[in-house]
Structure 1
């Protein structure tokens, strides 16, 4: 095994460096927020590892032995190099853009209308947005720092999820749809007689909603299917049928009258989350998660 795997423990080196620099075990303990005994034990461990004395008593304080002076000089230089490298890495990370992956439908219908405000509120984030591979992608994009997703499963052990909101889904249709007037006052069961638009990226949406409404899933009648949720909603706006969608994606369409939601929305087991790898971009991810929560 090569020599670099036989280094002394880092805590022992830190205790020695602080003691030598401050010429006091007591002051080193205060700086490191540990007890006097803990520092003494760490220094003794280092001396035993090297089989040499590093510190000697000098009056009421301590002084370096020849071996101690040699190690202190080398250790100080090494710690300085590590500190310089860490500062440079942090600065590079802070200057780099924060890349957010987002499903195309969520990007087009929710994030883009708010993107300018987000960039004004969090300029230091240097946000760049890319499109996720699919509407139902629950996994972190390899080329992104974080992903905005509807997560309906346990978060992977290697990932961290910031929960932003519960998912709520419901049927929506255009006021121009041929049966719109009748459906606005009808019970949910009336949808069993309507051709239902669906998306292939979320085929479980209609069955999940039907079960909550205590309707028979087998009695649902499907019409045109679409590859992405964005196309599904455009079809609904065009009056082609009744679609089902997350409330977040149709809130503005309902507000401006392009769509109506006669039966409202129900919560599912899914959560809208900001998903990222653990121990990466903690501060910037927290800033973005808080902004998203405040603006949902």
Structure 2
């Protein structure tokens, strides 16, 4: 009688949720950012990573100052999990077919979404009826994989991640804006830009150097700019300007509607920055829908000039 060969049973795979928590933390370098991306709590991500380490019998992260660094085992698993999740995403994208009926998930920074995209959404839908668009607000910077998104609309500076396809839409221009009442009260309508050295200036923490860059472009001493109230989001900054709290610095594109309606004035105009408005997507994404959307966005931005 021939001897029957037997093989040891392989151990089951770790939890997919644990692997997702690890992959996001390794890619983003932060448990908090991974939790936000995965829409779970900080504690949930930490527990998944501890369970994965217990399952594998080896630590994957080690504390380094106030941050995390990967162990040798963590580096090996990061490379493998990143490749595996990329393949899964690509396979799912192909199965969905990216047909015209499939929603295109577009990420936008919160202020850009509220002040520019949403007011133009009805016109976009009327002019691109074949495009179903789902808008997703973005608080944090976009990660290189654009996780969970088909594309993103943003303003920023090159170089861009090598894995992105980039559609340039318009050069960003910034300038001081002020309410009509504040401008009249302080005699700003006929004043030179140097008058701002004596005015309360409003800042946003997302772009702390905006006033200094503008002042240098105007030949003004940036060190003499008065300190002023700071706001976490551009949206709040501009509402404060409308309320007459001071002079704000803002991208022209995001205040175009306020200038048209007379809610804000731009007595000194706008100057170009090094940043561009761009529509970006993973390089693997089909280009047809993105090209149509990029062309529409470019026309809409050009119409504001």
- For the criterion TM > 0.5, the same-fold answer is yes
Residue 166 (structure 1) aligned with residue 174 (structure 2): no
Aligned to 2:259: 254
1:153-204 Cα shifts (integer Å, max 9, x gaps): 3111111110100000000000121665511111111111111101000111
> C-alpha distance in 2, partners of 1:100/1:244?
26
From the superposition, tell whether residues 205 and 176 of structure 1 become closer, same or farther in structure 2 (CA, over 3 Å): same
The Cα of 1:117 is off from its aligned counterpart by 1.4
The Cα of 1:115 is off from its aligned counterpart by 0.3
Residue 97 (structure 1) aligned with residue 97 (structure 2): no
Aligned to 1:37: none
Q: Over the residues paired in the alignment, what is the CA RMSD in angstroms?
A: 2.3
Match of residue 204, structure 1, among 179, 202, 209: 209
Aligned to 2:249: 244
> C-alpha distance in 2, partners of 1:94/1:252?
31
Q: Does the aligned pair in 1 maintain the 2:144–2:163 contact within 8 Å? A: no
Name the SS of the counterpart of 2:180 in structure 1.
Answer: coil
The Cα of 1:104 is off from its aligned counterpart by 1.6
Aligned to 1:58: none
Higher mean Cα deviation, 171-180 or 273-282? Answer: 171-180
1:92-145 Cα shifts (integer Å, max 9, x gaps): 5443210111112111111111101111222222101010124x6586641111
Aligned to 1:115: 121
From the superposition, tell whether residues 145 and 92 of structure 1 become closer, same or farther in structure 2 (CA, over 3 Å): closer
Number of residue pairs matched by the alignment: 211
Match of residue 235, structure 1, among 232, 240, 251: 240
The Cα of 1:89 is off from its aligned counterpart by 3.3
1:72-91 Cα shifts (integer Å, max 9, x gaps): xxxxxxxxxxxxx99x7364
Name the SS of the counterpart of 1:269 in structure 2.
Answer: strand
Q: Does the aligned pair in 2 maintain the 1:174–1:180 contact within 8 Å? A: no
Q: Does the aligned pair in 1 maintain the 2:146–2:282 contact within 8 Å? A: no
Max radius of gyration: which structure? 1
Q: Does the aligned pair in 2 maintain the 1:140–1:275 contact within 8 Å? A: no
Equivalences for residues 216-235 of structure 1 within 5 A: 216-235=221-240
Q: Does the aligned pair in 2 maintain the 1:160–1:277 contact within 8 Å? A: yes
> C-alpha distance in 2, partners of 1:149/1:254?
21
> C-alpha distance in 2, partners of 1:246/1:92?
33
Aligned to 2:44: none
Gaps of 5+ in 2: 1-90
> C-alpha distance in 2, partners of 1:180/1:255?
21
Aligned to 1:146: 151
> C-alpha distance in 1, partners of 2:174/2:124?
25
Name the SS of the counterpart of 1:89 in structure 2.
Answer: helix
From the superposition, tell whether residues 171 and 92 of structure 1 become closer, same or farther in structure 2 (CA, over 3 Å): closer
From the superposition, tell whether residues 258 and 129 of structure 1 become closer, same or farther in structure 2 (CA, over 3 Å): same
Name the SS of the counterpart of 2:265 in structure 1.
Answer: coil
1:263-288 Cα shifts (integer Å, max 9, x gaps): 00000000000011112131111110
